[in-house]
Structure 1
Amino acid sequence: MVDAAVGVLLDKLLILLISEGRRFLELDDQFEETKNELRYMQSYLKEADRVTRKDRNEVLKMVMSDLRELVYDVEDIIEDFQLLFLKKHQGCAPNFTSCCSPTLLKSRRQMGKRLRKINQEVRKVKERMIAYVGTTPHLTGKEEGGNRPLTYPILIDEAELVGLEDDTAKIRNWILEANGLPTVIGIVGMAGIGKTTLAQKICDSVNVQESFKHSLIVSVSQSFKLDELLRKMLNKLNVEEKSLRGKDVDELLKKLKQELDEKYLIVLDDIWGTDQGMWWASLKSALPRVRGSCVIVTTRNEEVAKSMGATIRHIHHPRILSDEDSWFLFSKVAFAKNGGNCTNPDLEGLGKEIVVRCGGLPLTIKVVGGMMLGKGYSIHEWRRISKHLKEELASSMKDELVISRLELSYEELPGHLKPCLLCFAMYPEDSEIPFLNMVYRWIGEGFVWGRNGKTAFEIGEECFAELFNRCLIAVGKDTFGRRFGSCRMHDMVRDMVIKIAREESFVSLDGRVGPVFSVQSRRLGILRNTAVESIENSSKLRTLVGMNIASEKIILSVKTKLCELRWLRVLYLSLSTTKIDEDLLAKDWLSGIGSLQHLVYLYIEKTALRKLPDSIGNLRNLQILSLFDCPNLERLPSSITTLEKLTTFHIVSCDSFECMPEGLGNLSNLEQLSWFRSKNSRLKNGYQIPQLKNLTKLRELRMKINYEEQTDEGEWNVLSMLNQLQLLLVDFVGNSPSPGLVRKLDHQLSPLKCLRELWLWNFPGERTPAWLNPTSLPNLQFLTIYWGKINYLGPKFWDCSSRVWKVEVLVLGDLYDLEEEWPRMQRAMPSLRLLKVYRCPKLKSFPFDVSVEGRWRIWRKEEEEEREPMVNQV
């Protein structure tokens, strides 16, 4: 079994050495020798990858450890040489003086020595391979190319049930029949049996939704804090995070009691115990005694449910799935390409053998089904997996069976997905991980990169979709109905990932996130208030992630200065408060950021920084810069406009931010540009819209426009020059606009032929602008209209004489004055499959009650189509 990161990085290095070989010839024949040795490694590792984790011997593990270090060192040398090359030829063609400067000659000699040393070490490792392991590891018969990309989606999610209809009906009746003081209901069962899925399905049912004003589900991790749980609950009740800053537990409890003003349903998911700090007694005191309200508790321990007030009558134990239901669930995943139907009798027989060995657990069935989806219809592969599961069943202890089945799904992953999955080990239990952050992390680590005409982000999105299709992660759609918003990982899958990450020294973590891993790792995660006195192996650290840090002491306790982490690729700093002293953060730590010349991904959240160091312009490899919720940040240094590799630039909820630096158009490689505001933003200036014309690679643009400022006639037409633009968000801000300004905004946009997503926020007019029509936006599939005083959709919106709307998803939110009719909407948008509405009380004839406050109302075309045959039968 190959070290996950080594396999991916080795492939990347060989591609680099082959494609840019001429550059590397400057260092004699050292790079050529390195390339040849790496090819040998690659062949060897492909054979070693056929050895299962159970069959790995200690010598093979040591070989993998040696190879890991060598591959990392080779990558470091190659990237150093690339930086040297850029510095050497910066701004002009190379000449004799620049090529022969003493500094550059010295650097080249040092790199040559490093490469010779690496090549010597590679030869030693190869000799040890042959001497102790043999030229080819013991093979298990695994076919080359057994995994194939999953380019089609699985139409199954956490809320889709199989074989639990009776369970759902029983608990739903308990809920709807409750008429006394808050009732506690327990769902008790082993991990992976479907407790969360059952609770989610119950909450999503129409009868339950209409019976409660408030319904929310929150995960309660094994090592949670009450204040964090309360913040999660309040966020689910649409309380803004900023209004909760600085509040202690007592204040949060009072706020929760205030928000739960009417009948409520609360699901507390995955509770391990109630004795730590008497948290349940405190939380219970904040739950109003509203008649008919309910609390659902999911737990592995019945005594926990009883201690929280669930009676025997109101405790439910989900059963394992029957053979028939197990096969039905497995088929929906494994044969998703054929609509869940198996057309090969031989394959069906093998599939049913595999299903029996999953023990009736929905989690295991879905994950193993996802694994088989990647195998296609190879009888040999299906027979091999069935045999492997049979061997595991015979050799594993009962408590290890689930993990062993899940571990097999990891072994069978394509090599490029393994390190992507192991990155999840760094995040706390029950974390909601933003999709974008994870893809950016993979790009920063070098696990995904642009190739075959696709950008690195597109490749990362495909990897994310594959992990979802294989049922290894659960994906939540974002607020506006797009496919990916955030993701999370089932506890059992996470346990498996942590186990493998430990074995491969993939990441080091503080005790609050998980086990403390080997200091040989090049990745370190710090969470909350756990101090890290020093960073072991700091000179080789590649990723440093600090999440929810609550004190400057945590940062300063890391005695290693940032400038010493010269190989760092990813720096992710998220504080839990903006009260950390700015000087301590900026002068004592971030001041060294300019030394991180290998940095690819920089994320900074909730800091008191007023500015970033000018030295940020030294980050020649920086591709992704994300600044979130930094309320004091006013300006960015002009040196940012020299970051020629920057592809992603986000500035979100930075209240004091005034304007983008001049020279924005110099960032010609930008693919994503976002500039959100908060409600209290003091932004004065826009994007310097004319400069956008130079950003020809831009695919996503989120922009804020102050309509009080004058813009030149036709200035917005620059956007029509961005031929790759697929997503546009325009957020208008300002005081009461004049009629002249509204007329100007009404027409200032030329057709955007490639645009697929449009988000229109706070448009100042009483009707939608004239350019919002199917002719100007011929390929639009996703449309969101949010906030503002729009009372009707403009005449151009309905003009379908020459072209009809292709919109599939429509979101309308906080449009209190909007008056439109549903039948007209359906006629204008025949492709519409999803409609989401929030606080639009004047809509007419819509398929749900629009007067319901504080809750999204959702219509799905497929649900309507499923109901129609039933009506016809009646």
Structure 2
Amino acid sequence: MHLSFRGEKSFEIGKISEGFLSRKLEEKKMAESVVSFVLDRIVPLLEEEVKLLGGIRPELEYIRDELQSIRGFLRDADAREEREEAVKAWVDQVRNIAYDIEDILDESMLILSPQHQSHGFVGSLQKSAQFLKHWRPRHHLATQIQDIKARVCDVAERRTRYDLQILDQGSSSNSTSYMWHDLRGDALLLGENELVGIDKPREMLIGWLVEGESRLVLVPVHGMGGSGKTTLVKKVYDHQRVKDYFQHHAWINVSQSFKINELLRDMIEQLFGEIKQPVPQGVDTMNEIALKKIVNEFLQQKRYVIILDDIWSITVWEAVKYALPDSNCGSRIMVTTRSSDIASSCIEPHGHVYNLESLDPKDSWSLFCKKAFGQNSCPPELRGPSQNILRRCGGLPLAIVAIGGVLSTKEKIVIEWEMVHRSLGSLLESNDKLKSMKNILSLSYNDLPYYLKPCLLYLGIFPEDYVFGSTRLINLWIGEGFVRDKERMTIEEVAESHLHELINRSLIQVVETSSEGRVKWFRVHDFIREIIISKSRDHNFGAIAVEHNTKFLEKVRRLSIHNTVDNVPQNKSFSHLRSLLMFGVETIPKSYMSPFLSNIRLLRVLDLRDAPLEKLPNEIVNLFHLRYLSLRRTNIKKLPKSIGKLQNLMTLDLKGTNVRELPSELFKLQRLRYLLVYKSGFKSEPPIFKVFGFYGLVGIGSLVNLQELFFIDVNQGGVVVKELGRLSKLRRVGILGLRREDGPELCSSIEKMRNLRWLSVESLEEKVLDVQYLFSPPLLQTIELIGKLEKFPNWISLLHNLKRILLVGCTSREDPLEVLQALPNLTDLKLADAYDGYELCFKTGGFQTLKILSLSKFERLKLVRVEEGAMPHLEKLIIAECKMLEKVPLGIECHANLKFFYFKDMPNEFITALNPSIQLGNYWRLVNWRDRHLEGHSVRFLQQDFSFRQPIIRLPYKDMYLRCRWL
């Protein structure tokens, strides 16, 4: 059960003031991110002392110094109210200059990049020819630099000329700040009859407060903006059990612009006022230490509850925690925040975190109907449009209430409601109720540090309801240059930390995590996406061509083409473009790509996955700055030799294409970090699922910066296997076609890959996989071994970091469980035709961390036993194609944590033994999945389950679910 609202009052109060305060920093922070990005380009360029800079070096140094001053000015910016428009105009100018500097730097790299030249007389001629060729562009570049220098000088002077004073935000004390706190207090006056679905979360939180241990305990409540955290906690705080249990109570509104002294004075006034005593003399002039001492002495040996509402920084908790004593009296502190990181940090050393999630579909529908229609039902003709609108709310109470309020004023006709659904983006800008909601949701964006803003804005170029892959997004960010190196971290690790920071701030939603605990898929709430698009438009960050009449600003820097290229006029210049992505484009005229690509020389990211391309356009290999190239699932069959010209390429994604051979010129790409060249499909009869990679060639070892390599077919010989040992930076690698005689050489190469975390090895045509010779393995977290094993590798028992293992076709006489059961971090075990025995036994004390177990294609397996104490944390069990297994694993019914039990193509005796009386509601009894058919015709698809996008059926079986996929 989740919290929802009937009234709008809680959302109306305080929005305008909060939105006003947050908007004052928004423009400056985005400009700061652009300036910082440009400085990150200039500073290394100057530090490297590139000789080719020649006479423009002093100008670049001057520009660098001025931008550093401007960035410092922007970082401390909090303009006075009366100067807001002037400051906004000034910031726009700074951002435009920064963009232009970026363009010039990229153009200069095209002109000044060193060219390969011969020696002697021929070399001299080439040098002269190059000088003549680039003389005019160099002269133009110098002129541009001079112009930029003048503009930077002018914008710096303009700040002083028009007295654009910037007050430090920590010292600001204008009345607006106080108005926000007063209005926030009014938002807590909602009556009990205005709340829906509050009982269960309130009772849980009350239990955490008044029950349990006597030591001080923290209870943070976190969730997305607009989810109702403050209102829920206020109802807990006001409950009679809480009032009676604690001797002292205080509710402190923190918000973004908190001041620790004012916060402590507020606490003192509440604590002394509750017992009707005057506050100590001199409180108004006391420093922080003295104020903390008063609070601490007052609360000694007392049972108290303190609420810290709306914390945006862990600094708040760090500043106040020493004022709140732990006298072992059962005191409690509650915190509300949008950040899960802050929530987790607050509970140290003791506490409970409550994540207030979105409303479930039933409560969302009920709330929507009450707001839109004033009753619990919806007119039949409006049900479809209503559900479409509600789907965009994503279970967020704030959005449901705001949109329901807007719809309550509309005529109850279908065309009117469909228009609201289509125009929600523009309504966020024009409708007062939706603008207030947008201001609240925008607070999380405005609070972002400068380096995260472009990372979040980049999500706006993807289609609505798009499910993102984390690796893809990380590589796109890196390709764009949004991620900077940090000491002792790879650039990928820095990017992943950015992703987690956005997740922890409730700006993106996790859809699926891997068995290793890594985020695999995520999405953006529709209204956060609308805010992102709005910000992108305001800052000229990017454009989406989703309609034929799409309006483009000048100097478009990122372009996303949806559905058809006809949405982009061919006469439009995109010479400033840095990213081009296509989604759902089914046809591309032959005359379209060449002129379009010829006009975007500064492109860094080109993502054409799923585009109808059969040949790589020649113009792509001339994109000197290109760092990210995805041709995934296109019809490309071959790469040209000229691919070696893309000297800055970092990601090459050819997954799902028919490319099997790579030109040797590709091995010149020394900056390449991700090389994905493989396709999966079925082979032979009966069909066998197989992965097809690219044929490894001598020279692959020159790609020394590779982080990921999938899948390389090494059946050409041992030289290629030996060269893999040079790829010491590899973190993930997939190897196919390994010959038995190359096993020892591969083991030697793997031992040199000390950064390797993910290893997949498949033998040649299901021959023997000889990998016994790995004596000092890297810190592997995932292993996939596909092929026959004469002896189970002993080195696997050394992998204490191993989280996931897949064994396929091993047909070993040795029981693999004997080695695997003691691995301390193993969470995911998949065995397919991996054992030739009749019985598998999971012994007491084994597999203490296992959560997922899959057993399939065991030809002779007749019995599976699970002893008491084995696999205590098992959540998911999968059994498939075990023809001799006629009974459910013995002892599995005792596993209280088991949530899902999947099975496929099992004998009828297995299903009968499972439970002969299972009925699917009004469906027929569950039948064998061998013939891929369900008796009966109704199959329910759970929209919120992103892990399995096939029709599925759920049915209860004791305390677990039997869940079967239509495969």
Q: 1:731 to 1:326 in 2, by over 3 A?
A: farther
Consecutive unaligned residues of structure 1, counting only runs of 5 or more, are 144-160, 170-190, 196-317, 336-342, 356-364, 378-388, 866-870
1:323 aligns to 2:234 (yes or no) = yes
| Range with greater deviation from structure 2 (438-447 or 95-104) | 95-104
Q: Report if aligned partners of 2:512, 2:520 keep a CA contact under 8 Å in 1.
A: yes
Q: TM-score, normalised by structure 1?
A: 0.62
Q: What corresponds to 1:650 in structure 2?
A: 676
Q: What corresponds to 1:674 in structure 2?
A: 710
1:837 aligns to 2:850 (yes or no) = no
Q: Computing the radius of gyration over CA atoms, which structure comes out larger, 1 or 2?
A: 2
Aligned counterparts of 2:441 and 2:549: Cα–Cα separation in 1: 19
Q: Which amino acid aligns with 2:797?
A: P
Q: 1:8 to 1:26 in 2, by over 3 A?
A: same
Q: Which amino acid aligns with 1:441?
A: L
Q: What corresponds to 2:259 in structure 1?
A: none
Query: 1:140: how far off?
Result: 3.7
Q: Report if aligned partners of 2:541, 2:558 keep a CA contact under 8 Å in 1.
A: yes
Query: 1:628: how far off?
Result: 1.8
1:436-585 to structure 2, matched below 5 A, reads 436-478=471-513, 480-511=515-546, 518-529=553-564, 531=566, 532-534=568-570, 536-553=572-589, 556-557=591-592, 560-575=595-610, 580=612, 582=614, 585=615
Q: Report if aligned partners of 1:548, 1:574 keep a CA contact under 8 Å in 2.
A: no
Q: What corresponds to 2:695 in structure 1?
A: 659
Q: Report if aligned partners of 1:507, 1:517 keep a CA contact under 8 Å in 2.
A: no
Q: What corresponds to 2:784 in structure 1?
A: 760
Deviations for 1:778-806, whole angstroms, at most 9, x for unmatched residues? x4332221543546765795299xxx633
Query: 1:619: how far off?
Result: 0.9
Q: Which amino acid aligns with 2:60?
A: T
Query: 1:669: how far off?
Result: 1.5
Equivalent position to 1:806, from 824, 827, 844: 824
Q: Which amino acid aligns with 2:646?
A: L
Q: Which amino acid aligns with 1:807?
A: N
Aligned counterparts of 1:796 and 1:733: Cα–Cα separation in 2: 25
Q: Which amino acid aligns with 2:170?
A: G
| Range with greater deviation from structure 2 (119-128 or 563-572) | 119-128
Q: What corresponds to 2:689 in structure 1?
A: none
1:415 aligns to 2:450 (yes or no) = yes
Q: Report if aligned partners of 1:88, 1:98 keep a CA contact under 8 Å in 2.
A: no
Query: 1:504: how far off?
Result: 1.1
Q: 1:410 to 1:639 in 2, by over 3 A?
A: same
Query: 1:444: how far off?
Result: 0.8
Q: What corresponds to 2:10 in structure 1?
A: none
Q: What corresponds to 2:158 in structure 1?
A: 128
Query: 1:413: how far off?
Result: 0.8
Query: 1:36: how far off?
Result: 3.4
SS in 2 for 1:602: strand
Q: What corresponds to 2:663 in structure 1?
A: 637
Q: Report if aligned partners of 1:811, 1:836 keep a CA contact under 8 Å in 2.
A: yes
Equivalent position to 1:368, from 323, 331, 338: 338
Equivalent position to 1:750, from 756, 768, 774: 774
Q: 1:689 to 1:353 in 2, by over 3 A?
A: closer
Q: What corresponds to 1:689 in structure 2?
A: 721
Q: TM-score, normalised by structure 2?
A: 0.57
Equivalent position to 1:774, from 782, 794, 797: 797
Query: 1:327: how far off?
Result: 12
Aligned counterparts of 2:710 and 2:462: Cα–Cα separation in 1: 25
Query: 1:35: how far off?
Result: 3.2
Q: 1:327 to 1:642 in 2, by over 3 A?
A: farther
1:351 aligns to 2:380 (yes or no) = no
Q: 1:861 to 1:665 in 2, by over 3 A?
A: farther
Q: What corresponds to 2:734 in structure 1?
A: 702
1:35-184 to structure 2, matched below 5 A, reads 35-49=61-75, 57-82=84-109, 87-88=114-115, 101=128, 103-104=130-131, 106=135, 108-132=138-162, 134-137=163-166, 139-141=168-170, 165=200
Q: What corresponds to 2:388 in structure 1?
A: none
Aligned counterparts of 2:770 and 2:641: Cα–Cα separation in 1: 40
Aligned counterparts of 1:755 and 1:75: Cα–Cα separation in 2: 40
Query: 1:671: how far off?
Result: 1.9
Aligned counterparts of 1:142 and 1:649: Cα–Cα separation in 2: 51
Consecutive unaligned residues of structure 2, counting only runs of 5 or more, are 1-25, 173-195, 205-223, 240-250, 256-262, 268-291, 293-304, 313-334, 348-397, 403-429, 682-691, 883-888, 900-958, 960-967
Q: 1:112 to 1:794 in 2, by over 3 A?
A: farther
Query: 1:322: how far off?
Result: 6.2
Aligned counterparts of 1:704 and 1:321: Cα–Cα separation in 2: 55
1:427 aligns to 2:427 (yes or no) = no
Aligned counterparts of 1:125 and 1:475: Cα–Cα separation in 2: 42
Query: 1:827: how far off?
Result: 3.5
1:6-21 to structure 2, matched below 5 A, reads 6-21=31-46
Query: 1:419: how far off?
Result: 0.6
Q: Which amino acid aligns with 2:722?
A: P
| Range with greater deviation from structure 2 (468-477 or 509-518) | 509-518
Q: 1:514 to 1:461 in 2, by over 3 A?
A: farther
Aligned counterparts of 1:528 and 1:168: Cα–Cα separation in 2: 49
Q: 1:773 to 1:567 in 2, by over 3 A?
A: same
Q: Which amino acid aligns with 1:759?
A: I
| Range with greater deviation from structure 2 (32-41 or 722-731) | 32-41
Identity %: 22
Query: 1:372: how far off?
Result: 6.1
Aligned counterparts of 1:444 and 1:327: Cα–Cα separation in 2: 52
Aligned counterparts of 1:514 and 1:733: Cα–Cα separation in 2: 54
Aligned counterparts of 1:618 and 1:859: Cα–Cα separation in 2: 61
Query: 1:652: how far off?
Result: 3.0
Deviations for 1:248-273, whole angstroms, at most 9, x for unmatched residues? xxxxxxxxxxxxxxxxxxxxxxxxxx
Q: What corresponds to 1:619 in structure 2?
A: 646
Q: 1:53 to 1:497 in 2, by over 3 A?
A: farther
Q: 1:665 to 1:497 in 2, by over 3 A?
A: same
Aligned counterparts of 1:420 and 1:700: Cα–Cα separation in 2: 24
Aligned counterparts of 2:154 and 2:123: Cα–Cα separation in 1: 39
Q: Which amino acid aligns with 2:851?
A: L
1:607 aligns to 2:616 (yes or no) = no
Query: 1:713: how far off?
Result: 4.6
SS in 1 for 2:114: helix
Q: Report if aligned partners of 1:834, 1:861 keep a CA contact under 8 Å in 2.
A: no
Equivalent position to 1:726, from 754, 757, 763: 757
SS in 2 for 1:635: coil
Query: 1:638: how far off?
Result: 1.8
Aligned counterparts of 1:653 and 1:637: Cα–Cα separation in 2: 18
Query: 1:823: how far off?
Result: 4.3
| Range with greater deviation from structure 2 (711-720 or 658-667) | 711-720
Query: 1:659: how far off?
Result: 0.9
Query: 1:367: how far off?
Result: 7.1
SS in 2 for 1:351: strand
Q: Report if aligned partners of 1:529, 1:549 keep a CA contact under 8 Å in 2.
A: yes
Aligned counterparts of 2:518 and 2:663: Cα–Cα separation in 1: 35
Aligned counterparts of 1:849 and 1:52: Cα–Cα separation in 2: 52
| Range with greater deviation from structure 2 (50-59 or 103-112) | 50-59
Query: 1:712: how far off?
Result: 6.7
Deviations for 1:315-361, whole angstroms, at most 9, x for unmatched residues? xxx99856346999xx9xx99xxxxxxx9995985633779xxxxxx
Q: What corresponds to 1:177 in structure 2?
A: none
